[in-house]
Structure 1
Amino acid sequence: MDTKAGTPVLAITSDEELAAGTRRACAAADRDLHEHTPPVPRRVWVGAGHVVLDPDAARACVEADLPRRAGVHLVSSRAPGITEWQAAAAVGAESVLVLPGSEADLVVALARRVETAGGRGPVIAVVGGRGGAGASTLAAALALTCEKRFPGRRALLVDCDPAGGGLDLLLGIEHNPGMRWPSLIVEGGAVSAAALHAALPGVGGTVSVLSAGRGPGLLEPGDAALTAVVDAGRGAGDVVICDVPRQSRAVTDVALGLADVVVVVVRAQVRAVAAAGTLIAGLASANPNVVVVVRGPSPGGLRGGEVAELLGMPVLATMRPEPGLATALERGGLRLARRSPLRRAADAVLDVVAGDAV
């Protein structure tokens, strides 16, 4: 069993008196508070220690198809009637409280730990700031590096780009038996993590790869199927890495909305940095948690600090050229040496998400 003790309380209410009562209760329970308005990103909903919401917010969360979870409390400014009880039942609230009269009960509820079955693995989306930036290669490197950073956890590498040629080719496992996106059928909006790992090809027993297929008539993953796969991995405590196309499309928006952190890979070239700046500006609405990794070489000598200044945000890691990388990708797939620049960049990204993994 995993516990969420220090994670903030998520409050979703349009009533200022209810909001004020929730703030007082959080302060008394010594809990941080994150106030949000609908729509609530799935990652925020799942990651909160507790959720406090009013009936309108409860209905909005149900309509958004957010998953059932523990630690949900519905608050009302009046004695609950049929409308409030229906909203509470729909969202799976474990308590219905009238504020300010029941603030003491809310304090007690927020002070306790919420226990959930299974784990909560981090979700990382990797996207290239421009074509050829190396996002797919970094995504694969993240998956291969997870075992050392998160002992005992599996990595689930999810290919979200049907036009990318397939991550199984990049890893040299294209001949390994197992399912690819075209043959994966998700029924009822849910999938078992254990069944998923058993059905997918992998690397070294710790990395499972859900790759795009190849050939004519390829379709991108459906929104519901991608959400179900990511939720399954997250719920099993896996480290989920999504290789995301930068073009604006439904699958990109879904993957970005599910991610705890978005890694933008930027080539150390002026035009590439300019393109990445435009991309990052557009990411804010889907996910504000963006970090930058710079990939060399730089023909003009552009340094990581200069890239950070041009983008107006810090650079997490700067990768020098990887000796023999192109040859390795053509002959057997990506493997990481101990001093690999890719490994070091992956370590830097995993260090960022390690604090959020439960």
Structure 2
Amino acid sequence: MVLDPAAARGLSQAALPRRAHVCLLTGAEAGTDTWATAVAIGAGAVLQMPEQEGELIRELAEAVEAARDEGRGGEVGQVIAVIGGSGGAGVSLFAAALAQSAADALLVDLDPWGGGIDLLMGCENLPGLRWPDLSLQGGRLAWLAVRDGLPRHRGISLLSGTRRGQELDCGAVGALIDAGRRGAVTVVCDLPRRLTDAVQVALDRADLVVLVCPCDVRSCAATATIVPVLATINPNLGLVVRGPSPGGLRAAEVADIAGVPLLASMRVQPRLVEQLEHGGLRLRRRSPLAAAARRVLALLPNSTAVPGGRAA
């Protein structure tokens, strides 16, 4: 509800029940009487126009989100953080597969030196915000505004890095994840192994942290070294093991050595690298990658996977 001072005074005199998301707008700096009226009616904000037009837009967006949340019965989205147990584990690929397999997803690229996950998805030419374009004011982002500003590819909203690396602001990362959660979408975070402040924010907010590990001895050893560090940030850890297994090591053995539950394992997917070089990831329903992604998504409450995954 948006009121001018006269309407606010009338509302105060009528002694009507208070309601959320009331804004009182003034054309000049608010005086004592205006503030007293705002307190009397329970206004959430007193804004001077046009100087505080941006704050009004944010208040309206939050009111819309609150109404949507009420209509959903308070349903929120789930957050999955994907990180490599070793270098070259295929983290971005599995994060992309999770996003493509979810009913509605936000894919967040948190590797500032990875060249941009939009390249892997094959949507680098789509218009929309990338990390350098994201300007955060007020510590909160409205999901509807975020969704409308981001590239959307095959049903996925994504925020990608660019070809020029830059460190990410941890406040912006937290605000983006929170916006996706409030929007009731599955938020998938693609993390580097370097535990920056931004990465730790994503790990802390995650409902599930997925470690991806190749099925070889050295990768297994590397995964075992990072598990205790991750567990201090978020104990909800699980392992996805990626083939091939050149020495005959089994996925269950990798999980035992790493000391985390095995969520899924997947064999080699033929011609995948070639596909990524020519148009980006197109997840096929019966592929090992899609099957592993669906198994992980099935572990999350309120997370709906697309039956069989999205068609290529």
Q: TM-score, normalised by structure 2?
A: 0.72
Q: Which residue of 1 aligns with 2:48?
A: none
TM-superposition CA deviations, 1:14-43 (whole Å, max 9, x none)? xxxxxxxxxxxxxxxxxxxxxxxxxxxxxx
Q: Within 5 A, what are the aligned runs for 1:129-208?
A: 129-147=85-103, 154-204=104-154, 206-208=155-157
- The Cα of 1:119 is off from its aligned counterpart by 2.9
Q: Within 5 A, what are the aligned runs for 1:314-353?
A: 314-353=261-300
Paired residues of 1:119 and 1:234 also in contact (CA < 8 A): no
Paired with 1:253 and 1:313, the residues of 2 have a C-alpha distance of: 19
TM-superposition CA deviations, 1:148-170 (whole Å, max 9, x none)? xxxxxx20000001001111000
Q: Percent identity?
A: 50
Paired residues of 2:78 and 2:302 also in contact (CA < 8 A): no
Listed as ranges, the gaps of 5+ residues in structure 2 are: 1-67, 305-312
Over the aligned positions, Cα root-mean-square deviation in angstroms equals 1.5
Paired with 1:313 and 1:226, the residues of 2 have a C-alpha distance of: 26
Q: Is it true that 1:283 corresponds to 2:230 in the alignment?
A: yes
- The Cα of 1:355 is off from its aligned counterpart by 5.4
Paired residues of 1:170 and 1:334 also in contact (CA < 8 A): yes
Q: 2:160 aligns with which of 203, 211, 216?
A: 211
Q: 1:308 aligns with which of 250, 255, 264?
A: 255
TM-superposition CA deviations, 1:173-199 (whole Å, max 9, x none)? 001111100011011011111111111
Paired with 2:188 and 2:153, the residues of 1 have a C-alpha distance of: 14
- The Cα of 1:233 is off from its aligned counterpart by 0.3
- The Cα of 1:312 is off from its aligned counterpart by 2.6
* Aligned-partner residue type, residue 141 of structure 1: A
- The Cα of 1:221 is off from its aligned counterpart by 1.8
- The Cα of 1:116 is off from its aligned counterpart by 5.8
Paired with 1:246 and 1:219, the residues of 2 have a C-alpha distance of: 16
Paired with 2:236 and 2:108, the residues of 1 have a C-alpha distance of: 19
Listed as ranges, the gaps of 5+ residues in structure 1 are: 1-114, 148-153
Paired with 1:326 and 1:116, the residues of 2 have a C-alpha distance of: 41
* Aligned-partner residue type, residue 232 of structure 2: S
- The Cα of 1:306 is off from its aligned counterpart by 1.3
Q: Which residue of 1 aligns with 2:46?
A: none
Q: Which residue of 2 aligns with 1:254?
A: 201
Question: What SS is found at the alignment partner of 2:176?
Answer: helix
Paired with 1:220 and 1:169, the residues of 2 have a C-alpha distance of: 19
Q: Within 5 A, what are the aligned runs for 1:217-256?
A: 218-256=165-203
Paired residues of 1:160 and 1:220 also in contact (CA < 8 A): no
Q: Within 5 A, what are the aligned runs for 1:46-125?
A: 117=70, 119-125=75-81
TM-superposition CA deviations, 1:248-269 (whole Å, max 9, x none)? 2111111100101000000001
- The Cα of 1:202 is off from its aligned counterpart by 1.7
Paired residues of 1:277 and 1:311 also in contact (CA < 8 A): yes
Higher RCO, Cα 8 Å, sep 6+: 2
- The Cα of 1:356 is off from its aligned counterpart by 7.3
TM-superposition CA deviations, 1:92-121 (whole Å, max 9, x none)? xxxxxxxxxxxxxxxxxxxxxxx9635310
Question: What SS is found at the alignment partner of 1:353?
Answer: coil
Paired with 2:129 and 2:263, the residues of 1 have a C-alpha distance of: 34
Q: TM-score, normalised by structure 1?
A: 0.63
